[in-house]
Copies of this chain bind each other. A is one copy, B any other.
């Protein structure tokens, strides 16, 4: 063949260390605090997370070794291929060179297991026997179920009731990997029982499910809680994506001008972007763009504030861009991007001017996803579609300007479990959601009275 389609690495090429961006920040990252604004120490987190992960969460060491056993499990699908999207380029008639890092090749179908495997490993090393978590549509729950099975832990997933009832397939995936999956609110926790007493027919919410998962982790022996995004150590586990991508670009003697990822809690974006930011800290000229939905415009329209990670305010307060912990996003199909806050490290990068942020409407994303599926073949997840839409905008701009830009995106997962969104789009039943100003104001007001983070 004249030109190769994908740049592959062997298992021997796998990065042996994660990149910890906390070593390179220009300004200190505001610490998590309690409601009085007092920094939260490691001990306060110990009932929820194992100490070895809490240490990672707070570490400022630039490189952290990846244990051998984690590498061995990751090698089931890693290194993931870096594709050159020649057919998409041709369809767009762009001089831009478009690359995508295909994270859909993992058994659960997304980037999520990169951290799920690591978290299961560290918990087991710490003597933990069982992890609890929450899941909305099921992407994270299935990744953790898979990871716990391969690392020899039990796994309990509280799944938002409406998804539990309407989307049975993710639940079956979790059960296939041996996890216990219950509808939330459940009768197993005080938090769940209290909600059910008030409203027996509640559809549930991610906030309630988080409360249930944390309560059970804290109250049960040798049990901890696992979170699929937002936290520093979670983002760090994902940097293997960008570290591989840099090796792959080195292999073909190229380097991207633009790095793009979709952004919900921030982990897939950070996974690809942070290793490129490491170069940007050293003067490299690279644009890094986070893409969020216009329905949940955290980075583009929300204030930087101290806010809770969940509705019930069970988590510490994190310094981040936040729409307010009471924010209920419109029902767009990209469930993984419907989060009121944003990872503190991603928020910090925006404040430091290291990254840009763009909000993308739903219809443009599905249009982009369909073009991608019809040129490159792989059907993207609705979250991933946001990154694709942004890549297409940049490729069109490169065409207008006649510039041969190199663009890379994190293709965070496949859409085979999310085909109902495609059906709705193909049947013309989808619409755009632009968050109304009034709703934004009301939601932001829920943060009044909370401590304020320091100025840069």
Which residues of A are at the interface with B, using a C-beta cutoff of 8 A?
Answer: 1-2, 4-6, 8, 10-12, 14, 68, 71-73, 75-76, 83, 87, 105, 107, 109, 146, 149-150, 168-169, 172-173, 175-178, 370, 373-379, 416-417, 419-420, 422-423, 426
Contacts and interface: CB of A to CB of B under 8 A. Distances in A.
B150 A379 contact: no
Nearest to A69: B1
A176 B422 contact: yes
Contact of A107 (B109, B169, B379): B379
Contacts of A176: 370, 373-374, 379, 419, 422, 426
Given A4-B11, A109-B416, A377 B76 contact: yes
A10 B11 contact: no
- The winner among A6, A175, A377, A426 for most chain B CB atoms within 10 A is A377
A8 B173 CA distance: 27
A435 B351 CA distance: 68
B172 A420 contact: yes
19 contacts: A1-B68, A1-B71, A1-B72, A4-B12, A5-B72, A8-B10, A87-B150, A107-B379, A150-B375, A150-B377, A168-B419, A169-B419, A172-B426, A173-B416, A175-B426, A176-B370, A176-B419, A176-B426, A177-B374
A374 to B, nearest CB: 5
Contacts of A379: 107, 173, 176
Given A1-B11, A177-B373, 8 more contacts: A1-B68, A4-B75, A5-B11, A76-B378, A105-B105, A175-B422, A176-B426, A177-B374
A27 B76 CA distance: 43
B5 A76 contact: yes
A416 B414 CA distance: 11
Nearest to A376: B76
A220 B305 CA distance: 65
Contacts of A378: 76, 107
A424 to B, nearest CB: 10
B5 A75 contact: yes
Contacts of A177: 373-374
A109 B109 CA distance: 11
A376 B72 CA distance: 12
Given A10-B8, A378-B107, A423 B68 contact: no
A176 B379 CA distance: 8
Contacts of A168: 419, 423
Contacts of A422: 172, 175-176
Contacts of A175: 422-423, 426
A443 B253 CA distance: 64
A171 to B, nearest CB: 9
A420 to B, nearest CB: 7
Given A10-B8, A75-B4, A379-B107, A173 B419 contact: yes
A374 B178 contact: yes
